[in-house]
Amino acid sequence: MSIGHILPTIKILLIEDDLFLTEVLSNHLLQEGICEFQSVTNLDDAKLLIPVFEPDILLLDVNLPDGSGIEFCLLLRQNGFVKPVIMIVENSSENDSIDSLNAGANDYIIKPIRLSELFTRIKFQYEQHCSIEPERFVIGLIEFIPENKTLSVKGKSKKILLTEKETLILNVLFRSYPSPVHKDILLKEVWGFQTGLSTHTLETHIYRLRHKIKELTQVTFILTKENGYGLV
């Protein structure tokens, strides 16, 4: 069975010091054209690459030259990493399997690795995660997650926290992109049928929102359009 029939295009990061295993996995995954694949051989490099590459799936060996993969998995979870982690464990180490799950890993696979089994586990974990993944919008490098009330630049760790009204405003603008939204529609969508409101209320919130966004990027992300606003 072709791997392409069981996996969507996803970003996979392998943290493994076994270069032969790395080459085998890389060849099979890339030949099918189903993923972006990156690999590192140690935890120091992984720490640098994860926030830049933003993998959808992490394949993590339990024993690495500069530390424990299990402890690294626990550290990732403590720092808010929510993507699926599949640990790679030795055949003889039952404790590593249990400790991996206790550290927050989603699953584990035992060496020697059977590719069909690994791909099935990757597919399952990816689909499970996507089913609970919060809705997100991306325009250029700007990423907006309404559920978390956050706005960020892809590849950077800094996020700005939004108020309820700011989140609602951006939600309308992102959903309407690339079309602008009339001020009256924004007032209705964000404030409902609340009486006594003027466009000045909206303009004040837009001003504050633009000021916040400047903490992330100097790009003028919210544009003033005729009788409304749109995104760049």
Condensed to tens digits (0 to 9), the pLDDT of residues 110-128 reads 999 998 899 889 988 988 8
**The pLDDT of residue 78 is above 70:** yes
Looking at residues 69-86, what average pLDDT do you find?
90
Q: What is the pTM (predicted TM-score) of this model?
A: 0.58
Interval 168-185: pLDDT, tens: 999 999 999 999 999 989
Weakest mean pLDDT among 6-20, 103-117, 209-223: 6-20
3-state secondary structure 157-192: CCEEECCHHHHHHHHHHHHHCCCCEEHHHHHHHHHC
Distance CA 80, CA 56 (A): 14
Looking at residues 139-148, what average pLDDT do you find?
86
Nearest to 224 by CA among 151, 188, 173: 173
Mean pLDDT of the chain: 87
Instruction: Supply the pLDDT for residue 156.
Output: 80
Instruction: Supply the pLDDT for residue 77.
Output: 86
Q: What are phi and psi of 142, to 5 degrees?
A: -85, 130
Looking at residues 132-158, what average pLDDT do you find?
83
Using the structure block, give the residue that is written with the tokens 């309404």.
146
Instruction: Supply the pLDDT for residue 5.
Output: 46
**The pLDDT of residue 10 is above 90:** no
Interval 25-42: pLDDT, tens: 998 877 766 678 999 999
pLDDT band at 193 (very low <50, low <70, confident <90, very high): low
Distance CA 197, CA 187 (A): 8
Over pLDDT 70: what percentage of the chain?
92
Looking at residues 207-231, what average pLDDT do you find?
90
Domains of the chain by range and CATH? 3-132 (3.40.50.2300), 137-231 (1.10.10.10)
Retrieve residue 177's tokens. 């992109």
Kindly compute the dihedral angle of the four CA atoms of residues 117, 21, 94, 77, in this order, to the nearest 10 degrees.
-90
